[in-house]
Each structure stands twice: as structure tokens, then as C-alpha cells.
Amino acid sequence: MLEKISVLLVDDHSLVRRGFRRMLEDEPDISVVGEASDGKEAVELARSLGPQVVVMDCALPEINGLEATRKILKFAPQTLVLMLSMHSEDTWVRQAMEAGARGYVLKNAMDLELGVAIRRLVRGETILDPQLGRQENLKGERNAGLTAREIEILQLICEGKSNKEIASHLELSANTVAVHRANIMDALGIHKTAELVVYAIRNGLVNLP
């Protein structure tokens, strides 16, 4: 008997997870072995269940999808991560691939065929949503884009956290956070925190709760 592809579904919306599960229940060669509603739970379940494929939402509470992907691949480098996101910006796609994801698919794609995407991953292919054409660089953004750490800090800035609170949350020094904040503003050509927050939200760089 053919061994089924084991899949862990990660999304903070139960309806979305249910929809994906239904899509995959009809696939004879795929088995959903677990569901997680945040990044922390995703890492724990990936460790205990050892799924072959993780279908990961990019924007998650606790730990975002990028950070969860990095943590999972540290202890299970063979795991294949398919990132699902509402964000088509080049910065997000690049960060997902740098984190180790093997595919990046837009959640709002009308023709999303999850089973096909999972099989392609297992065959060794890298998957990019066809809607992801060559994206223009963000205005004022340096060519390399924001780093994964900068995106993480930007998210916390937009949540209203101070440098000290961010430092405590990420186990960094307040000085390091201040340097990151300055680098983010420099990269985006923005000099005030309020403008930075507006810009980040408007361009889909952060996830609002």
C-alpha cells in the first residue's frame, strides 16, 4: 500500500483550516495528521508529529509563519514548508524563501489546488504562485529588502511596543532593537514612527490582529 503524504495545516482561522482539510480529504495519497492555530503550536506539533509537509500561514499570532518555519527546519530540515499568504509583495516572498519555505502560494488564489501543490513539493519542485510576477521594490527600500528580523521588529513596532518591550520579547538588547529600528526607517526612507506604522500597514508588511 502506498504511503500517504503526511500534512500539518497551520492557520489561525479554524474555518480556513477546515476548508483546506476538506480539500485534502478527497486526495487518496494525502493525510492531514494535525492542525495548529499559531506559530508556537505549529513548531510543537511539527516536532511531535513529524509531518512530511507543513502548509503554513504566513501571518500568525505568537510566532509568525516565517519564524515558525525557521524553527521547524532547525530540528527537521527535511520538512517541506508550503507558505500560504495574503501578501504578494516581493519582500514577503523573499523572506519566506530565505526562511526555508519551498513554496509560496496566495491564499486568495481562486484556482488554489492544494493537493497538486503538495505533490509537486514532494517531487522536489519549488512552487511560486503564478500571480507573483516580478514585484516592484517598495519605495525607498534597499534592494536586499527588509531582513526577517527587521520584519519581525516592524510587526512589534506596529503593535505599539517600545524598544525595551521588543528587546524583552525577542531576547535582544534595547540598543540592538534601536539599531534595527533605525535600519528599517533608513531602508524605507521614513523618519517618524507614526509614518512607519501607516506605511507598513498600507503595504501589507505586517499583520494586524
Sketch out the chain's domains with CATH numbers: 5-128 (3.40.50.2300), 148-202 (1.10.10.10)
Residue the block writes with cell 503550536: 41
Whether residue 119 contacts residue 5, with contact meaning beta carbons closer than 8 Å, is answered with: yes
Whether residue 45 contacts residue 39, with contact meaning beta carbons closer than 8 Å, is answered with: no
pTM tops 0.75, yes or no: no
- Binning pLDDT at 50, 70 and 90, where does residue 160 land? confident
Closest by Cα among 95, 97, 51 to 72: 51
**32 vs 141, more confident:** 32
- Binning pLDDT at 50, 70 and 90, where does residue 134 land? very low
Strand order, beta sheet including 30-36: 30-36, 5-10, 53-57, 80-85, 103-106, 127-128
CA–CA gap between residue 201 and residue 41 (Å, rounded): 26
Q: Could you report the per-residue pLDDT of 74-115, keeping only the tens digit for each?
A: 999 999 999 998 877 777 888 888 899 999 988 776 567 889
Mean pLDDT of the chain: 85
